[in-house]
Amino acid sequence: MDIPPLARTFVLHFGEMGSRWGVNRTVGQIYALLFLSNRPLNAEDITGALGLSRSNISMGLKELESWRLVRLQHIPGDRREYFSTPEDVWEIVRILAEERRKREVDPTLSLLRSVLMETPDSPEERHAQERMRELHGLIELLTGWADDVQKLETERLVQLMKLGSRITRLLDMKDRLTLLPGGKGRRRKAANAEDIGE
């Protein structure tokens, strides 16, 4: 299987970027090849396209399966296993965010929770524990936000991302409504604006 020049550029780049994202070059190249392919590929296809050993391809595919980034498929009449990536790029982003959180963020939160339950023995430990408490609070806030974003329908998520910094206008409007004097109606509007801003 030959990779067209345009696709080859992307596949090679993705391999180089892999090491910066915590996977090796082979895994990055395999994923890029599967992502661009218009059909599922088997290990022989991937080996031929990338010019890598079959064992490297097998290990790379196993790693991608553990990340849930490739799907195993069978074709009737063919005993080989075929692989593809999800079609929806937003699904890929959601899977990546969830897997990275499980592997990187959750263990840190667990460690911080256990350290924060201990009693400090010195002013230095109290200071260190307070810094860790601040970090724990920030990570909890970010993961709570990420959970909310993960639950959004893709269409809503795209709208939210397109708002960008304009979201601050909504928050400014909420602040102005809260400061206005008035009866229950104004307070209700302010409460609604606060719900939107959360």
Query: Tens digit of pLDDT for each residue in 69-119?
Result: 999 999 999 999 999 999 999 999 999 999 999 999 999 999 999 999 999
Please count the other Cβ atoms lying within 10 Å of the Cβ belonging to residue 75: 12
Say what the pLDDT of residue 195 is: 57
18/62 Cα distance (integer angstroms): 16
Say what the pLDDT of residue 188 is: 52
Collapsing DSSP states into helix, strand and coil, what is residue 1? coil
Residue 62 φ/ψ region, left for φ over 0, alpha for ψ in the -120 to 50 degree band, beta for the rest = alpha
CA angle 126, 138, 173 (to 5 degrees): 130
Mean pLDDT per 10-residue interval, the chain, length 198 residues: 90 90 91 96 96 96 95 92 96 92 94 96 96 97 93 91 84 76 53 54
Say what the pLDDT of residue 182 is: 61
Say what the pLDDT of residue 183 is: 46
Say what the pLDDT of residue 184 is: 47
41/34 Cα distance (integer angstroms): 7
Indicate whether this model's pTM tops 0.85. no
**By CB neighbour count within 10 A (0-12 exposed, 13-18 middle, 19+ buried), where does 88 fall?**
exposed
CATH architecture of 5-84: Orthogonal Bundle (1.10)
Say what the pLDDT of residue 89 is: 94
Buried b or exposed e, range 21-47, using 16+ CB within 10 angstroms? eebebbbbbbbbbbbbbeebbbbebbb
